[in-house]
Amino acid sequence: MALISMQDVSFTYAYSEAPALSNVSLTLEEGLLYGVIGVNASGKTTLCSLMRGLIPLFHPGTLTGKVEIRGRNLLEWDPAELSRAIGCVFENPFTQISGIKDTVFEEIAFGLENIGVPRDEMIERVLEVVERLGLEALIKKNPNELSGGQRQKVAFAAIVAMDADFIVIDEPTSQLDPEASDAVFEIIGDLRKRGKSIVLVEHKIDLMAQHADRIIVMKDGRVIGEGPTAEIVTSALMDEADVPRPEVTELALALQGAGKAFPSLPITRAEAFAALSSRLGR
């Protein structure tokens, strides 16, 4: 059974004239990391909101077509059940903090508390993620007094602690410095290895090339392509969507244009390194 299936789905936000999603048909399988790419306003967050069940319940508008999550029509899911089944981190960390907890520790524990995780296990799970994201110095602070980047890390920590099988992550590193971004992506890499199903929106295409199993390409509310990462990020779809290719792919293409062909186009630094060192070794 597919994780998500969408058939000819369109959505227009209330009071908006143009559709944010147009005739989207997609099937997402369990256990893979799907990267969603596209320029600003191409519909990535709207697609995530739909997969997470926030549309049409919390973002009203006109929805047509059919969306199924694990074989059940989206409209038949109980919202509370859906929020337990799907972890979700949205781009704006200011809307992610509950606003009712006095400390970062309690904020991260909040979701676990709601689903009745025993206290000892809860403390263990929170402390583990706090350590991995280097949040020790923040745990006694009031979440409302954090910077945007700190809030983003706390929101991410809360979702990781929940340990859902399916996680929707929308631009998790938009406000983070390189070191914090690396820590977040290390955890995302681990979640993927543990077989979680992940939908990830991320503008940094080099990170996407490194971590995604498959890529969904969006333009003007439409899905213009979906396929294995290497196939998509080296294809002409990237030009059509106006999204840059990974740096190493661009470099290899430039070398190819100068008559110095690579055996195959690299999409990660590790692949470029392997291809270059085998040539230089000769």
Using CB under 6 A, list all residues that contact ligand ATP.
13, 16, 20, 38, 40-46, 59
The owner of tokens 């200011």 is: 94
Q: Identify which of residues 62 and 144 has a Cβ nearer to ligand ATP in the complex.
A: 62
Q: Identify which of residues 16 and 264 has a Cβ nearer to ligand ATP in the complex.
A: 16
Q: Identify which of residues 109 and 243 has a Cβ nearer to ligand ATP in the complex.
A: 243
Q: Identify which of residues 41 and 274 has a Cβ nearer to ligand ATP in the complex.
A: 41
Cα dihedral sign, 273-171-151-31: negative
Shortest distance, position 95 Cβ to ligand ATP, whole Å: 12
Secondary structure (DSSP) of 138-185: GTTS-GGGS-HHHHHHHHHHHHHHHT-SEEEEE-TTTT--HHHHHHHH
Q: Identify which of residues 41 and 270 has a Cβ nearer to ligand ATP in the complex.
A: 41
Cα separation, 128 vs 130, in Å, equals 5
Shortest distance, position 208 Cβ to ligand ATP, whole Å: 13
Shortest distance, position 220 Cβ to ligand ATP, whole Å: 9
Nearest to 173 by CA among 191, 186, 164: 186
Shortest distance, position 13 Cβ to ligand ATP, whole Å: 3
Residue 91 is given by DSSP the state: S
In sequence order, what are the beta bridge partners of 10? Answer: 64
Q: ω into residue 266 within 30 of 0, thus cis?
A: no
The owner of tokens 């213009």 is: 224
Shortest distance, position 46 Cβ to ligand ATP, whole Å: 3
Q: Identify which of residues 40 and 277 has a Cβ nearer to ligand ATP in the complex.
A: 40
H/E run at residue 276: helix 269-281
Shortest distance, position 145 Cβ to ligand ATP, whole Å: 26
Strand, coil or helix: what is 66?
Answer: strand
What is the β-pairing status of strands 166-170 and 197-201?
A: parallel
The owner of tokens 């070191």 is: 179
Q: Identify which of residues 20 and 129 has a Cβ nearer to ligand ATP in the complex.
A: 20
Strand, coil or helix: what is 188?
Answer: helix
Shortest distance, position 14 Cβ to ligand ATP, whole Å: 7
